[in-house]
Amino acid sequence: MKTATKATAKAAGQNEANTPAKKSVKSKSMSKSSYGMDESKLMKLFEDELKDIYWAEKALIKALPKMSKKATADKLVVALENHLQETVGHVQKLEQVFEIIGKKPQAKKCEAMAGLIKESEEIMKNTDAGAMRDAGIISAGQKVEHYEIASYGTLRTFASTLGLNEAAALLEVILEQEKAADAKLSEVAMATINMKAAREKE
């Protein structure tokens, strides 16, 4: 009788020991399901941000020639013209990203970029031709670049998280070009333009 009682108690103990393990498996399953929901929401956000930057790049294709036309320093004109060509390429790469996720390229107005372009137009309108205007164009251009750097950095990270490796690679290429364009504007400003603007009198 004592032996049977011990066996029964041992079996009961084993059952109790197994109970937390079952709960752990259930919890793990719920966590995985929750991650899947979050991932789906991330894809929606990724698509929205993609539409946003697609509009921004297409708007820049129209804005950059105006900035180039108003610039006077040769190096600044060249930098703006070179980045215009890159921007055309950015639009094409974004269209590839849309294709990768099975979506038709679609633009959604980017209020931030619209505001930055409007600001650049105001600067060009309210400054005299020469170093002062060039410095203003560089200032406006770098604000645009910093916005794009932030946007593409985020999009690249989203793409990597979603397992869209090909899209992430394309976005990385654009990101590096935006960083290079920002660095080029800094180089042009520091080489001559800022010093000339500092010597100009109102």
Q: What is the CATH number of the domain that holds 120?
A: 1.20.1260.10
Number of domains in the chain: 1
Name the residue range of residue 194's domain.
38-199
pLDDT of residue 81: 97
Owner of token pair 């038709």: 104
> Which one is predicted more confidently, 20 or 196?
196
In a domain, 114, yes or no: yes
Query: Is the pLDDT confidence value at 156 over 90?
Result: yes
For residue 3, tell me if it sits in a domain.
Answer: no
Check residue 20 and give its pLDDT: 43
| 2 assigned to some structural domain | no
**Is residue 7 assigned to a domain?**
no
Higher-pLDDT residue of 185 and 35 is 185
Mean pLDDT of 173-185: 97
39/33 Cα distance (integer angstroms): 10
Q: What is the pTM of this model?
A: 0.78
Q: For position 30, what pLDDT does the model report?
A: 32
Picking from 120, 124, 122, the residue whose alpha carbon sits closest to that of residue 141 is 120
- Do the domain assignments include residue 17? no
Is residue 32's pLDDT more than 90?
no
Q: Within a domain: residue 124?
A: yes
